[in-house]
Structure 1
Amino acid sequence: MDVIMEVTDVIRFEMFDKEVIKKYTAIEYSTKLNVEGLKFAPGGSAANVSVDLTNLEGTKTAYLGKMGNDFMGQECIMDLKKHGVNTDGVIYTDMERTGLAVILITPYGKDRSILAHKGANNLIEPKELNLDLLDRCNSLIWTSLTSKSGINTIQKAITYMKEKNKPIYAAPSISILRNQAKEARKLVEQSELLSLNKEELEALTGQAHVYAGLEEACRMGPKIVAVTNGKDGSYITNGKDVIEAETFEVDVKDTTGAGDAFVAGLIYGSNQGMGMEEMIKFASAFSAFECMVLGVREGFPDKTIEVVNYINSNPLPIKYRKLK
């Protein structure tokens, strides 16, 4: 569950560390801040990708995870079902609450800071995996669980799907890459497609430069690696060729969920047999639709052809380079 807060009584400052500039959002110590806007919305990266994909014709999805027996879990399940996502793989527990993310939107641009609590999802165990549901799926995407049992569950799902020669897509968040670096790398090594942002790429590879990070990520095993870099665009590579894409010019309302929409666009493109250029254009356009509204799982067109028409009507500047 996402709690989206618009907060103005904050400051932003930058710190310089050698070649790296880090930006921070600060709250004055021991003060009460006014929240200008408040919105509750079901969220979570895996759930967002599942929902986003259902907006694309011919795509059916299922969500596997664990939720608390609470009102947040009920709201999340209702929203998944409303969008046509299969929830047979959801496990419920009284031991922990449903995962929660507090998203802070400030006046400093449209990027946001997130306070995330994994909650019940981290309690999932391999024995709770719905293998019958996996049998009905053509591919698997894993995102971010940071507990040992959660990672073991992802590994079991990957092993099961690979035995049936079904593709594995990876979209690890910064939390698993920082807290379970060794385990996350092992999962990436077994994935055909990897999608992350620039910060996550550096956490995974230890490389601050995008091209060095792309090269290292490709050496881990994925056939396709895609990296987003906010307003500065995105990259996609097959280990030899790289395509750099700028972003579509849109009136950005909120970037929450944009990365998940990008992942959904990549997966759809891969499943449709698109080449790299077509994939990155489609993913960028799909992400742009998400940015034009406040909140997640919003703003998407009713038909896939509308995404295609948008791409054809709004040329996306791209560059071709060699990785090696």
Structure 2
Amino acid sequence: MEQKPKITVVGSINMDLVTIASPLPNIGETVFGDQFQMNPGGKGANQAVASARLGAHVQLIGCVGNDRFGKDILEHLQKEGVDVSNVEPVTEVTATATIIVSNQDNSIIVVPAANNHVTAAFVESKRDVIAGSDILILQLEIPLEGVIKAAEIAKENGVTVILNPAPIQELSSELVKNIDYLTPNEHEQLLLKKDRRSEELDGKLIVTKGSQGVSILEGNQETTIPAYTIDVVDTTGAGDAFNGGLALALCRGFNLREACKYGNAVAALSTTKLGAQTGMPTREEVEEFMRSQF
């Protein structure tokens, strides 16, 4: 029997409040929306579900509120096969993300709440979990000190680290030195270029470009891995799907280009359904989809 890759995700856990409306209201204007959904989300939880559906053994490290949202999310993640034994309820309310979808694009407002409890001390208490992983996935919806500590623990134990730098903020040299792959989108990459330490990112950048695919940047060389053409319903969570797919493929021994190609397929399929986690495809769906493209 094939051994499952061990992927640990340290990150955010939200309840997504999704509204579909077209057109969007102007300031002071009220419009009727077309559809509303309430779905478990958060970049950390999204990436955990993506990896789990693809066949990895996934451990999620994070915090939820001791409220109805938190209880519903934990129950949902367990059904998805994510190990939530290292997700702790706190007195703060569960984080929320208000997502407005219009003409296939989205705008998001996140209220961190319980995610703010994923501190360096909290992450340190999960050292053994991180140390026993094949790959660690991180994002920036939790306190930066928690991200830095997680990457440090991973590097000390030879664990590959993927950082999805969203929402974008300045990255310290301390953090960058412990990152193996950085996966910004085009907007985030532009802001990273303005950072005085941008040269430290050389050889680590994988830039996601939506319908234009992804670019692997190494020195002055840029390798583009084309996206798959597919009918898009909702792009929410597509970046998280890519990161989950990238991690899974790297665990299975794919080279970086093939891993990015696999991640593109996962991301493409994720856009065919409304919602972030609900759109994540299974390993079988991805493999069948990739076979059908030839």
Bucket of the pairwise TM-score, normalised by the shorter protein: 0.7 to 0.9
Give me the whole-angstrom Cα distance separating, in 1, the residues matched to 2:263 and 2:119: 32
Counterpart of 1:33 in structure 2 is 31
Cα gap change, 1:222 to 1:83, in 2 (>3 Å)? farther
Counterpart of 1:93 in structure 2 is 90
Counterpart of 1:155 in structure 2 is 148
Give me the whole-angstrom Cα distance separating, in 1, the residues matched to 2:134 and 2:171: 27
Work out whether residues 3 and 41 of structure 1, in 8 Å CA contact, stay in contact via their aligned partners in 2.
Answer: yes
Q: Which runs of 5+ in 2 are unaligned?
A: 1-14
TM-superposed deviation, 1:33: 2.7
Give me the whole-angstrom Cα distance separating, in 2, the residues matched to 1:241 and 1:308: 29
Selected match of 1:62 from 59, 63, 70: 59
Cα gap change, 1:34 to 1:192, in 2 (>3 Å)? same
Cα gap change, 1:117 to 1:222, in 2 (>3 Å)? farther
TM-superposed deviation, 1:222: 6.3
Cα gap change, 1:300 to 1:44, in 2 (>3 Å)? closer
Counterpart of 1:50 in structure 2 is 48
Equivalence map 1:81-230=2 (5 Å):
81-94=78-91, 96-106=92-102, 109-129=103-123, 130-145=126-141, 150-174=143-167, 176-177=168-169, 181-183=170-172, 186-206=174-194, 219-221=199-201, 223-230=203-210
Once the two structures are superposed, residues 178-212 of structure 1 have per-residue CA deviations (whole angstroms, 9 ceiling, x without a partner) of xxx144x64233200111100111111229xxxxx
Once the two structures are superposed, residues 237-291 of structure 1 have per-residue CA deviations (whole angstroms, 9 ceiling, x without a partner) of 3446432133211111000000100111111122222123312211111101101
Is 1:288 aligned to 2:268, yes or no? yes
Once the two structures are superposed, residues 51-86 of structure 1 have per-residue CA deviations (whole angstroms, 9 ceiling, x without a partner) of 1001123x1111111211111111211111111111
Q: Structure 1 runs of 4+ off > 6 angstroms?
A: none
Counterpart of 2:244 in structure 1 is 264
Bigger Rg over Cα = 1
Q: Which runs of 5+ in 1 are unaligned?
A: 11-26, 208-215, 316-324
Work out whether residues 191 and 222 of structure 1, in 8 Å CA contact, stay in contact via their aligned partners in 2.
Answer: no
Give me the whole-angstrom Cα distance separating, in 2, the residues matched to 1:125 and 1:198: 28
TM-superposed deviation, 1:300: 4.3
Work out whether residues 168 and 192 of structure 1, in 8 Å CA contact, stay in contact via their aligned partners in 2.
Answer: yes
Cα gap change, 1:283 to 1:85, in 2 (>3 Å)? same
Q: Partner letter of residue 144 of structure 1?
A: L
Work out whether residues 170 and 188 of structure 1, in 8 Å CA contact, stay in contact via their aligned partners in 2.
Answer: no
Give secondary structure in 2 for the equivalent of 1:40: strand
Counterpart of 2:17 in structure 1 is 3
Once the two structures are superposed, residues 151-190 of structure 1 have per-residue CA deviations (whole angstroms, 9 ceiling, x without a partner) of 222222222221111111111103x41xxx144x642332
Is 1:311 aligned to 2:290, yes or no? yes
Equivalence map 1:226-265=2 (5 Å):
226-239=206-219, 241-265=221-245
Q: Partner letter of residue 53 of structure 2?
A: N
Give me the whole-angstrom Cα distance separating, in 2, the residues matched to 1:273 and 1:240: 26
